[in-house]
Amino acid sequence: MVFFLLIISLLLLNSCTPQSPKTANPQSKSSSAYIQNKGSDTLVNLALAWAEQYQTLFPEIEISVTGGGSGTGFTALINGTVDIANASRQIKAEEVQQAKANGFEPVEFTVANDAIAVIVNPGNPVSQLTLDQVSKIYQGKINNWQEVGGQDRPIVRLSRETNSGTHVYFLETVIRLGDLKNKSFFSADTLLLPSSEGIFAEVRDNPNAIGYDGLGYVTPEVKMIALAKKVTDPYVLPSATTVTDSTYPISRSLYMYTHGQPSGAIKDYIDWILSPKAQQYTIQLGFVPLAATK
Amino acid sequence: MKNKSEAIITRGIKIAGFSSIIFLLLIFAFLMKEGTPALAEVPVGELFNPRWYPIEKYFGILPLIGGSLMVTFFSILIALPFGVGTAVYIAEIAPQGIKQLLKPVIEILAGIPSVVLGFIGIQVLVPFTRRFLDLPTGLTAFSGSILLALISIPTIVSIAEDALYAVPRSYREAAIALGASKWETILGVTLPAARTGVLTAVMLGIGRSLGETMAVMMVTGNAPVIPNQWMSFFLPIRTMTATIASEMGEVASGSTHYHVLFFIGIILFVLSLIINVTASWVSFRKRTREQLVS
């Protein structure tokens, strides 16, 4: 009987208490330090690359990087379980409120830029679209490639799942064209694929498909679409240059957030990430470095 | 001393036996606790909205229920003839050598992780489906049904084969003595005698199909569209299991979306309960009738 009670209480405990690892001390100034870094899945590969490189440069510093999504990272930062939160979106007002209630002000650092590439099968003759056309395609108002100058084929819309920050960004910036009052959204028959690989496998194989993903994930086996804000504007392909000079219409910044102004090891780490040397890694992983933005 | 240790062991085994009931009750209680608030938070009419788009508070679960039922139904339609046919072949027709080869092969098929089948599905089955049937995309309910059939066939084969094996030898001998051919014996005597066991096999196969997540999520396209026409079988759909799996990861604990996902869990739980109860009811009837005969 005691055994039963034990099991039950264990289960209840598990379901009630949020998992909170020991709070790392963000003010640690000692030479050896442990930095916890969590959040955006878009940023996770880049954050890992930085962490690995930084640890080989400074072996006394230990950095752990985990994904889970931008929201997860902010929650962890607010609860004090991580030192740095990674995010592919800016912090929301209510998240700032929660942080203030916990006695600190989150400080934002823009650490890299990222473009969203719209991709099609290499066999698709369409190579340029306006944002409005992409929006109409994803809303289900354009259903045949013929309507945008392609072959007589049905359009198969591919998207990441709704929990992806990229999905939300695409919804707000492309489908709603940045208009906050616009309440239109993805056509119900949009295929929601659980992974980037799922999107690329289908676009590679299927001449009907259209998809989107971060520039860092694009492989040469798919074709990127040149985009224009308006019909009269030039059509631009995504690349480090076009993101930097803001001619490519759908690019965003990636962020890191800290507990108040960072100090000690965390400040050193952020400073290093913003240095031109660390920014080189963004190019290797398909992101766009900051330094060039200025 | 010996008596004491024996008592402890007996007690231990008893606890192990009852633990599954305890776990079932705990799981059910947890599901109810987390799922029922959905009914208070979302108007019931809203749950029957044809649209599922949780990040904009559209919680229509009909497309998900429809998607699950459609792939399950068609997977069993495919798996039934293959599964029962294989069982009949192994139990009645195959010579000893082939029987000893086939049984372990079926068991290996049962042991293939569904994510591996899903991956093969994406790389091979999906492109093939699109080309062969000339569909807009191969990520369809049809592809999902085929994969699910592959997954449920081993379950059906092993249970149906056991049932055929349990038919007394004297039945077959009597049929052959009356001049029936081998085929007539199988169709007229052995299969009807094992009917309830075969039905149980099919029921468990249905349960297997309904609960399968990973393979379905990878090949059905996950578009939440209500399958309301025959053509829907060749279009993308979204199942309940895939929805829970892909959205539970990032949902805020305690939110409406979280509760609705658990509510979907309750629906799945109840459906599989109905299937299992039907299966055991069928085999229970068999036993009572056999007792009457003997």
pLDDT of B144 reads: 95
Determine whether the interchain pair A188/B225 forms a contact, defined as Cβ–Cβ distance below 8 Å: yes
Per residue in A190-208, pLDDT (tens digit) is 999 887 888 898 999 999 9
Which tokens in the block code for residue B247? 């959205």
Helix (H, G, I), strand (E, B) or coil at A59: coil
| pLDDT of A184 above 50 | yes
A161 touches chain B (CB under 8 A): yes
More confident: B161 or A292: B161
Interface contact flag, B139 A191, Cβ < 8 Å: yes
Query: Which residue ranges in chain B fall short of pLDDT 50?
Result: 292, 294
Q: Reduced to 3 states, what is the DSSP secondary structure of residue A91?
A: coil
pLDDT of residue B46: 87
How far is Cα A128 from Cα A200, in angstroms, rounded to an integer?
Answer: 19
Coil/strand/helix, residue A29: coil
Instruction: Please determine, for residue A132, whether its predicted confidence score (pLDDT) is greater than 60.
Output: yes
Kindly state whether A208 is in contact with chain B, defined as any CB-CB distance less than 8 angstroms. Answer: yes
Which of the residue ranges A127-131, A155-159, A287-291, B283-287 would you say has the lowest mean pLDDT? B283-287
Strands B52-53 and B58-59, how do they pair?
Answer: antiparallel
CA distance B112 to B110: 6
For residue A28, pLDDT over 60 is answered with no
State whether residue A201 sits within 8 Å of chain B by CB.
Answer: yes
Residue-wise pLDDT tens digits, B82-105:
999 999 999 989 999 999 999 899
Q: Look at B26 and A156 and tell me if their CB atoms are within 8 Å.
A: no
Query: What residues does A160 pair with on adjacent strands?
Result: A193
- How far, in whole angstroms, is CA A235 from its chain's centroid? 24
Q: Report the distance separating Cα B71 and Cα B69, nearest Å.
A: 6
A41 touches chain B (CB under 8 A): no
Helix %, strand %, coil % of chain A (to 5)? 40, 25, 40
Cα gap B159→B165, rounded to integer Å: 10
pLDDT > 70 in chain A, percent: 88
Q: Are strands A251-259 and A223-224 parallel, antiparallel or unpaired?
A: unpaired
State the smallest CA–CA distance between residue B248 and chain A in angstroms: 9
What residues of B are in contact with residue A153 (Cβ under 8 Å)? Answer: 136
Confidence tier at A180 by pLDDT (50, 70, 90): confident
B56 touches chain A (CB under 8 A): yes
Helix axes A41-57, A264-274, angle to 10 degrees: 110
Is B26 within 8 Å of chain A by CB? yes
Question: Does the CB of A211 have a partner CB in chain B at under 8 Å?
Answer: no
Per-residue pLDDT at A26: 43
pLDDT digits (tens, 9 = 90+) for B168-210: 999 999 999 999 898 899 988 999 899 888 888 998 899 999 9
pTM assigned to the model: 0.80
Query: Tell me, what's the pLDDT at A12?
Result: 47
Instruction: Tell me the residue ranges of DSSP E strands in A221-275.
Output: 223-224, 226-228, 251-259
For residue A167, the SS3 value is: helix
Amino acid A75: pLDDT: 82
**Shortest Cα–Cα distance, B225 to chain A (Å):** 6
Q: Do B139 and A202 touch (CB under 8 A)?
A: yes
Check CB contact of A194 with chain B, cutoff 8 Å.
yes
pLDDT at B287: 60
Which residue matches tokens 């085994």?
B13
**B128, closest residue in chain A (CA to CA):** A205
Q: CA of B98, closest CA in chain A: separation in Å? A: 38
pLDDT at A211: 95
> Which residue from A8, A69, A185 is facing B56, i.e. has the nearest CB?
A185
Q: Percentage helix, strand, coil, to 5, in chain B?
A: 80, 0, 20
Partner residue facing A161 (CB), from B123, B246, B252: B246
Average pLDDT over residues A265-282: 91
β-pair partners for A116: A214
Q: Which of A11, A156, A163 has the CB atom closest to B250's CB atom?
A: A163
Whether A139 has a pLDDT exceeding 50, the answer reads yes
What is residue B288's predicted lDDT score, i.e. its pLDDT? 59
Pick the residue from chain B with its C-alpha nearest to A199. B221
Q: Among all chains, which residue has been given the structure tokens 């066939």?
A: B153
Token pair belonging to B40: 């208070």
Which residues 201-240 of B have a C-beta within 8 angstroms of A? 217-218, 221-225, 235-236, 238
What pLDDT does residue A15 have?
44
Query: Are B136 and B177 within 8 A, CB to CB?
Result: no
Listed in sequence order, the residues at least 6 apart from A162 whose beta carbon sits closer than 8 Å to its beta carbon are: A168, A192, B53, B54, B55, B247
Based on the number of CB atoms within 10 Å of its own CB, is B254 exposed (0-12), middle (13-18) or buried (19 or more)? Answer: exposed
